[in-house]
Structure 1
Amino acid sequence: MVRLALIGAGRWGRNYIRTIAGLPGLRLVRIASGNAGTLSLAPPGCIVEPDWRTVVAADDVDAVIVATPPATHAGIALAAIRAGKPVLVEKPLTLDLAEAEAVARAAEAAGVLVWVEHTQLFQPAWAVLKAALPSLGPLRAIRGEAGNHGPFRREPPVLWDWGAHDVAMALDLMGRPPRSCSARTEERRDMDGGEGALVALTLTFADGIEARIRCGNLMEHRVRRFAAHGERGILLLDDTAADKLTRHPPTNGFAWPAGPGEPLAVEPELPLTRAVRLFAAAVAAGGTGDHALGVAVVRTLAACQ
């Protein structure tokens, strides 16, 4: 039995509560939250208290999940590492490169598992896409588009909130950092509750491959698609489609493919379920985490500002 503590019980934190409840071999024993309504969401026997430091240090906690605003991630993660507790941190790892590097150094020195929950990397379709990638021949380009109309908030910035997903996917697919990167704001508006923006990013890799990503919270409707363009075809991951992953013929100018494409078989597991399940398995096995990608995402986004 892996005993988990959750720091933060906002919208995404509540998703963690539901997810943990549905997985065998896991028990949510403590939640750090200042919201009085959290008690009604907690499973029987789970202790809810406002001080996250007390929760992280508790002897009955095997591992910590951090679902708080990104500006708070570094302090909580470092405290968990000092306590010898494996930690799963919501994306992005931090909003500051020096903080991300400090977390990585501390984790390596202590031999403590640190994972970053880049949701799209835990899509079952993502593993299938990576396995099928060689069938396309040499990779020529990457395209990503992600967004919605809202939510609008003051923090984190839209670049970090929305861009972290597709940057993580591009870096994971390429297996190396970009040679250069840039970001251009296509539109920005002050909205009720916070900032609205559409941002276009370009990551250029040493072999000339470009990842072009468009993201933000001023789109008309929800969009979440990612295309790997190879010499012999395209693999399209579309999280809003019935068929999550499809294969298509090449397009001129690396345009988005039209038509239904050839569907590839994908398991139906939810990304957050997969992330928590794999994290708990790594904790139980005493594994170490690959936090390098989380740091690389922060480094790339910082360079794009």
Structure 2
Amino acid sequence: MKLIRFGAPGQEKPGIELETGKRIDVSAFGKDYTEDFFAENGLEDLKNWLAENKDNCPEIDLQERLGAPVKRPSKLVCIGLNYAKHAEESGMEVPSEPVIFFKASSAIVGPNDDVIIPKDSQKTDWEVELGVVIGKKASYVSEEEAMDYVAGYVLHNDYSEREFQLERLGQWVKGKSCDTFAPLGPFLATKDEIPNPHNLNLWLKLNGEIKQQSNTSDFVFNIPQVISYVSQFMSLLPGDIISTGTPFGVGMGLKPQRYLKPGDVVELGIEGLGTSKQVAKAYRE
């Protein structure tokens, strides 16, 4: 299944994108895509409900705004420097164990919402990433069983303000958590939709020009390793998202460096997970 959420910000309703591309409203199912939905066998229940009710669901206009396909997960955990060439362009060593940081859940927006360049920002950057959605509580999980905890996958643009992240004191989180810095979607593809998440092409364009183009086969740490590793330090809750890192081609790594300006258009996609598009806008009081 491909899970979507649609409607005005803060008023999104649950939906499904069918194989035909048609989108249907599944509000009558009675549950949004929350932590409780994933924890309480919601994916299987929704699948069974659709078998009986799909034809009675209202169709959604394809022009309708999409929100993030998961409603406010408890955590958005990110893995840094998880492609060797990106570590190189960042001037950092390939890590010997996964680098973990957080993005605030308040950064999450819909896939095609504007990205707002923060107040006083000079170095807002882009990062196409594969997000892994957790399907059940995971604590001290082994690599061998890690994939049993995956509900599905989602496209994520891990926007970053490099001065805030790297040139100011403290942790990376403050350069990662600005409002609008985590567009998710267009949809959550359930695990059965993506047979091999370790062989997906991913790309990003800036104003129509390819900046990032790679494949998830280039991970330094694969998905089972990452889930297992993170779960040694914190419980991953249903609906939580692990963003698995970005390939080379970010603005910080270009010569000369290139950062977002108002009016820039960022488009990105991952094989099997659709595409998204954000227009950069200046911060306004």
State whether TM-score is above 0.5: no
Q: Whose helix fraction is larger, Structure 1's or Structure 2's?
A: 1
**Larger RCO, structure (CA 8 Å, separation 6 or more):** 2
